[in-house]
Amino acid sequence: MMQYDDLLSRAIARASKRGSIRQAALKIGVTDVHLSRLVRWRETQNFPSNELLFKIAELAGEDKIKSHFAIMAAKLKEPELSTVYERLAS
């Protein structure tokens, strides 16, 4: 199952050989501070807009619809619904 953390990790890893958040942010078109908040979503509760999500998905080499489901799974506080969204992201 694709998870939101995996999507962000793949995007950052593909942005540079060292997995630089700064380089990934430049390729996505946001500041490195903003991308760091998205990576720390559990504490910040920040998620990308659909437009930004599609850029992240493209950088990660993932399908944008499946990526949307992965974010929905992370956003929801209901574990049963989150599991369903994670399956849809696969």
DSSP annotation of 3: -
The tens-digit pLDDT sequence of the chain (90 residues) is 789 999 999 999 999 878 889 999 999 999 999 999 999 999 999 999 999 999 999 999 999 999 999 999 999 989 999 999 999 998
Nearby residues of 77 by Cβ (< 8 Å), 6 or more positions away: none
Amino acid at 40: R
In this prediction, residue 19 carries a pLDDT of 83
What string of DSSP letters covers 16-70? Answer: -TT--HHHHHHHHTS-HHHHHHHHTHHHH-----HHHHHHHHHHHT--HHHHHHH
In this prediction, residue 18 carries a pLDDT of 84
